[in-house]
Amino acid sequence: MKIDKKALHFALLFFPIGLLCAWYLAYTNSTVAANLGVEVSLPLLLLATFIQVALVYTLLLAYLGHQLARKVGLLRPLTFEKTLAGKAILLGLLSALVMLSDYFVFAPHIPQVQASYSPESFSFVALLFSMLYGGILEEIMLRLFFLSLLVFILDLLFGRTRQGLEIPKAYYHIANLVAAILFALGHLPATQAAFGALSGMLVLRSLVLNGVLGYLFGWVYLKMGIQYAMTTHALTHLFFQGILFIFIF
């Protein structure tokens, strides 16, 4: 099989971020396990997390996502234009305000969530991880790879490209909606781990907040490119915690 050098160079660009996130996740999970009295082998945990996060989530999906995005017309030069970068920053702030609705709308009705909003529950390292894992890796997985894959499958099923026709815009919107739903559902295990058993309100909270944000990040990917979706997503976490510390805590 011939190696796609452009796709490989793209994937390798993000590989160090995958390594860093894998290291953080492994040590965090080992600490949680120790606190629960569960013995784990740190080397094995590091290896498993490295394979999952750095090799699969980052290297492999970035490589395949690059190829899929090119096939469906979603691949753009990995550069930043001043106007688009400004829009990404503003959309990051808007997304942070959407996330902030959790504090005012859901937290008052969910004691576990309310209790999580304290200065002690936030840290710079956790913020950096959320910006890198959420802003970079989740965008590679959900937008660059999965959203592009859905568009590719829809086009494959109906053969628009084979007929010499453009891919209908509806395919991109359908793919974005499905990817946003998956993005929301994918946060349910983390929600359960953080707050215990899932309640109806916790499920609704995860689906609404992550679904809306996931669709917005997908829209940015479709209209502007993956680098701007990454910027918007990462800044969402930065602005969200900045607002909490400056105006609420």
Q: What is the pLDDT of residue 15?
A: 98
Average pLDDT score over the chain: 93
Q: CA-CA distance, 14 to 140, in Å (whole number)? A: 9
- 236 closest CA partner among 140, 168, 139, 134: 134
Give the sign of the dihedral formed by CA 78, CA 81, CA 83, CA 89. Answer: positive
Q: CA-CA distance, 173 to 63, in Å (whole number)? A: 23
Q: What is the pLDDT of residue 164?
A: 67
* Backbone phi, psi, residue 115, to 5°: -70, -25
Q: CA-CA distance, 142 to 175, in Å (whole number)? A: 10
Write out residues in the chain with pLDDT < 70, as ranges.
160-162, 164
Q: To 10 degrees, what angle do helices 200-223 and 169-185 make?
A: 140
pTM over 0.75: yes
Q: What is the pLDDT of residue 162?
A: 66
Cα-Cα-Cα-Cα torsion 209, 211, 212, 217, nearest 10 degrees, comes to: 120
Q: What is the pLDDT of residue 36?
A: 76
**Domains of the chain by residue range:** 1-71, 80-248
Q: Which residue matches tokens 């995958």?
A: 18
Q: What is the pLDDT of residue 119?
A: 83
Q: What is the pLDDT of residue 196?
A: 77
Q: What is the pLDDT of residue 56?
A: 98
